[in-house]
Amino acid sequence: MTKILHVVGARPNFPKLAPVHRAAAAAGLAQVVVHTGQHYDDAMSASFFRDLEVPTPDINLGVGSQSHAVQTARIMERIEPVLLAERPDWVLVYGDVNSTAAAALVAVKLGLLVAHVEAGLRSHDRRMPEEINRLVTDRIADLLLTPSRDADEALRREGVRDEQIAFVGNVMIDSLFHALQHVPADAGARDAVVVTLHRPSNVDEPRRLASIVEALREIAEARPVVFPVHPRTRQRLEDAGLPLGAVRLLEPIPYREMLAHVSRAHAVVTDSGGLQEETTALGVPCFTVRENTERPVTITEGTNRLAPDPAELPRLVASAARPAAPRRPEGWDGHAGARVVEALLAFVDRRPADDAVVVEV
């Protein structure tokens, strides 16, 4: 029986895991879920597993919050004995967090097959730690499972062979559609502006953060602003002592509750990758407070717009309007998880007999 070992570690990974786990269970595959513990409090981790109806992880490495170097090193050190003990047919890594690159590095050095879910996304900005994780993981993984056709092309430009690329669509949208069935029609703040910010380029530079907060205060004078605050961002706000006016700060909230807010929002202001995708699928105007995005399809086919100058946010939000119907890119149809499993099985079936996995220690 084919055995999959899933590696997740941070909040953005969990909605990507859920549909693949369900599809693999339906196919009768053996599965092990390893949570690295990169995000470790209940609001940022355990509640997501409940909301997404994914079994509790089989193994938690408990690495916690550290510098990029220390966190990556601890993940590598702690996952190696797990991989040696489990000997999976596939190690699946998700997205672009430190857990993704660290687990992939260890697995390939042990001779294990690695597949990257959400491969091929590029911001072309190496100042972003996530971009480094994407590049490293895509360079060493055996199978690159892409969410959009532009990701296929990005990999081909980098010299990746076609037989390593499998377009599967967006697994995040599978989770969104699944969760929407369980969100009450009247949940969430209607016609509010939903805000998330966590990237160092926005929250670690005091002048930049102050300009964003000033824009949010102005927006909040006209309509409700709901801001679930990442722990790092809350600390930066407290350190800076910035007045927030009518902006409503919330603790990090579970997946379904967040989805309720986003689905009923007037607009979303974010620097998150996942929210760019979710708002595209929902047809909610999104303003990404960044100079670039690794998800250009959300701009060319969706409702996302880059807003690198925070001073422009009040005007952009005031003029935001939903389209008559969402324009969803190819493969954003709720069946990406099943295509991931099909691609894994097809890849194993076509491997040469003499290309067997050999684990050396």
**Catalytic choice (198, 230, 266, 335):** 198
Sign of the Cα torsion 63, 87, 130, 272 reads negative
Both tokens of 183, joined, read 């969100």
HSE-up of 144 (CA within 13 Å, CB side)? 29
Do 49 and 56 form a contact (C-beta atoms < 8 A)?
yes
Please name the residue ranges forming H helices in the chain: 14-26, 46-51, 68-86, 98-109, 129-140, 149-157, 171-180, 200-203, 206-220, 231-240, 255-263, 273-282, 297-300, 313-318, 336-350
Whether 198 is catalytic is yes
Angstrom distances, CA of residue 40 to CA of 4, 199, 286: 23, 18, 28
Integer Cα distance of 174 and 156 in angstroms:
26
Angle of the 273-282 helix axis to the 255-263 helix axis, nearest 10: 50
Catalytically annotated residues? 198
